[in-house]
Structure 1
Amino acid sequence: MTNVTHVLKDKHSQEIYTVSPEATVLEAISIMADKGIGALVVTHEGQVVGILSERDYTRKIALMERSSYDTTVNEIMTAKVLTVTQSTSVEDCLSLMTDRHLRHLPVVENDKLVGLVSIGDLVKAVMDDQRKLIDQLQQYIAS
């Protein structure tokens, strides 16, 4: 069974984008727009303290008519962050994401952020596993 380690190795970009809780929301969404990503891990002194997603922005800034210029990330981030480790299975990640309606999971080892997986990363991993299994079964049947 594939785990998060394999998913992180297969990702095109290994870069993890983070933002400080004191940054403005405008700074954070500018990073997301520039990098083409949907979430940023919020870190303070190397520790994960939250996550900021496009969903947080739309629900807590746009819909509440707040200003991105003077609202800090700390004010709208999701502070109760669910994390996984590199040994967590893709299946467990997908279950967690489905049950909690999440799109991103920070990967933490020894209290250090080592990656971020998205639902798309995990679905791709499942599809790759299924392709490999189909190929193996076809070779078995053909032999």
Structure 2
Amino acid sequence: MHVAALIKRKGSQVIAAKPDAPITEVAGILARNRIGAVLVMDGDDRPVGILSERDIVRAVAAEGPDALSRPASHLMTRELVTCKPEDTVSQMMAVMTERRIRHVPVVEDGRVIGLVSIGDVVKARIDDAELEVESLRGYVGMS
């Protein structure tokens, strides 16, 4: 399965925040949308980073409550790992495992067209495995 199929299945909505958004605002976005990370996008809707719940927790642990008044640009990961729609789910699983990341923006022609999470990747792998098992059962049952 390709990443394009994942995006088609789950939708292409990307929740984002501006670099100057206070961390309290970003935390609210995460909570309201029940997601683990947001892309940080500049005024031209280009991704400049990603900010996760874990980033916020680490900052609060290190800096105390003052971390919550900082802008998203202060805590975000600037080095984005991205993928393309034609990448496979297996490739994404390997990248996420190797890089120890849970969210990867999907980029096509320089535009973000979706965001893939480790949960999306695992679900796709399970669905593929279940389909394969059912196919094998059907094949064995026909013999």
**TM-score normalised per structure 1:** 0.93
Q: How does 1:11-50 map to 2 (within 5 A)?
A: 11=10, 13-44=11-42, 45-50=44-49
Corresponding position: 1:121 with 2:120: yes
Corresponding position: 1:51 with 2:84: no
The number of aligned residues is 141
Corresponding position: 1:81 with 2:59: no
- 1:69 Cα offset (Å): 4.5
3-state secondary structure, aligned to 1:67: helix
**TM-score normalised per structure 2:** 0.93
Q: Which amino acid aligns with 2:41?
A: T
Overall identity of the aligned pairs, in %: 35
Could you list the runs of 5+ residues in structure 2 that have no partner in the other structure? none
Q: Distance in 2 between matches of 1:66 and 1:49?
A: 25
Could you list the runs of 5+ residues in structure 1 that have no partner in the other structure? none
- Structure with greater helix percent: 2
Corresponding position: 1:96 with 2:95: yes
Q: Distance in 2 between matches of 1:61 and 1:108?
A: 31
Mapped contact 1:26–1:68 kept (Cα < 8 A):
no
Q: Distance in 1 between matches of 2:121 and 2:51?
A: 20
- 1:52 Cα offset (Å): 0.2
Q: Distance in 2 between matches of 1:70 and 1:25?
A: 6
List 4+ stretches of structure 1 deviating above 6 A.
none
